[in-house]
């Protein structure tokens, strides 16, 4: 097998768990780059700004350009840029990454109805009052947009509720079905193609998002068992097995380098 030279690598559960680096990630990325791969990162975690992810990667010994970081916040902003009026009013129940992405697309962030959309993403500031307000704005006519619907989020010591848990609350309270932006939904597929090209490999820890993204792109999938699948048993290793399966990113690198040529 000849492998394409672009890798779209997930972050949570692959490079880190919460604020703890997964051992060997820095060396693994350096080895892949030395072997001629472009390594870029796509996360369904919309909470951070691009610079936050670049800084966090750098702090773990992994240099990255802002252009090498793709987030579901950007995918949500792209979804709205394609379908909403320019400069439209948008309410968000999400982290700073969503504010950054929506502002970059020219949307006006608003606290109250009327709004064209309510964007919901992972946020530790989620609470009852914010839920009530977001549901009110959706009931008043706004579209409900989810940055992603991952049910959980791999943290340092177990699993936290993911954006999907928060989206479900807003969806239930408002009666609206969310439009989803993150992987494996079409806005992310389009964003990955626009940024990274038509050929690559997806590496990730969650078959239902990372594996499905790979399938949607038509790219090989490398599953690491350092996050959701395997150790947490949240998701099983798919059958048929992905092109590559390894305990972690450090141990998937030799497989990729062997299969490269």
Binding residues vs Mg ion (CB under 5 A): 10, 12-13, 205, 227
Within 10 angstroms of residue 63's Cβ, the number of other Cβ atoms is 13
Q: Give CA angle at 185 (40, 110), nearest 5°.
A: 90
Backbone angles phi, psi at 121, to 5 degrees: -145, 180
Question: Could you tell me the smallest distance in angstroms from the CB atom of residue 200 to Mg ion?
Answer: 17
Given the complex with Mg ion, which of 91 and 183 has the nearer CB atom?
A: 183
Round to whole Å and give the CA distance between 98 and 147: 8
| Position closest to Mg ion via CB | 13
Give the CB-side neighbour count of residue 22, counting CA atoms within 13 A.
25
Given the complex with Mg ion, which of 10 and 100 has the nearer CB atom?
A: 10
Could you say which of 10, 150, 205, 248 is catalytic? 10
Given the complex with Mg ion, which of 138 and 185 has the nearer CB atom?
A: 185
Question: Could you tell me the smallest distance in angstroms from the CB atom of residue 107 to Mg ion?
Answer: 27
Active-site residue, 112 included: no
Active-site residue, 68 included: no
Round to whole Å and give the CA distance between 218 and 167: 28
Question: Could you tell me the smallest distance in angstroms from the CB atom of residue 125 to Mg ion?
Answer: 22
Question: Could you tell me the smallest distance in angstroms from the CB atom of residue 225 to Mg ion?
Answer: 12
Given the complex with Mg ion, which of 10 and 105 has the nearer CB atom?
A: 10
Backbone angles phi, psi at 158, to 5 degrees: 120, -155
Question: Could you tell me the smallest distance in angstroms from the CB atom of residue 45 to Mg ion?
Answer: 8
Given the complex with Mg ion, which of 10 and 235 has the nearer CB atom?
A: 10
Could you say which of 12, 150, 205, 210 is catalytic? 12
Question: Could you tell me the smallest distance in angstroms from the CB atom of residue 217 to Mg ion?
Answer: 16
Given the complex with Mg ion, which of 105 and 150 has the nearer CB atom?
A: 150
- 259: exposed, middle or buried (Cβ count in 10 Å: 0-12, 13-18, 19+): middle
Residues catalogued as catalytic: 10, 12
């Amino acid at each position: 097998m000849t492998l394409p030279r672009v890798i779209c690598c997930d972050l949570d559960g692959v490079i880190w768990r919460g604020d703890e680096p997964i051992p060997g990630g820095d060396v693994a990325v350096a080895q892949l780059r030395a072997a001629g791969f472009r390594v870029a990162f796509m996360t369904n975690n919309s909470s951070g700004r691009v610079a936050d992810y670049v800084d966090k990667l750098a702090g773990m010994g992994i240099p990255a350009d802002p252009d090498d970081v793709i987030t579901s916040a950007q995918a949500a902003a792209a979804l709205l840029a394609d379908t909403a009026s320019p400069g439209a009013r948008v309410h968000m129940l999400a982290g700073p990454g969503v504010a950054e992405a929506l502002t970059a697309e020219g949307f006006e962030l608003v606290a109250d109805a009327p709004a064209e959309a309510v964007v919901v993403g992972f946020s530790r500031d989620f609470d009852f009052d914010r839920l009530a307000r977001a549901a009110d704005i959706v009931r008043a006519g706004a579209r409900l947009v989810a940055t992603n619907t991952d049910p959980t989020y791999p943290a340092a010591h177990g699993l936290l509720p993911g954006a999907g848990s928060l989206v479900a609350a807003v969806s239930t309270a408002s009666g609206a079905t969310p439009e989803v932006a993150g992987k494996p939904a079409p806005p992310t597929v389009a964003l990955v193609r626009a940024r990274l090209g038509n050929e690559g490999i997806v590496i990730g820890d969650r078959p239902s998002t990372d594996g499905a993204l790979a399938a949607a792109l038509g790219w090989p999938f490398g599953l690491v068992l350092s996050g959701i699948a395997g150790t947490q048993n949240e998701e099983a290793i798919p059958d048929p097995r992905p092109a590559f399966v390894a305990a972690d990113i450090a141990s998937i690198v030799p497989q990729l380098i062997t299969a490269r040529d």
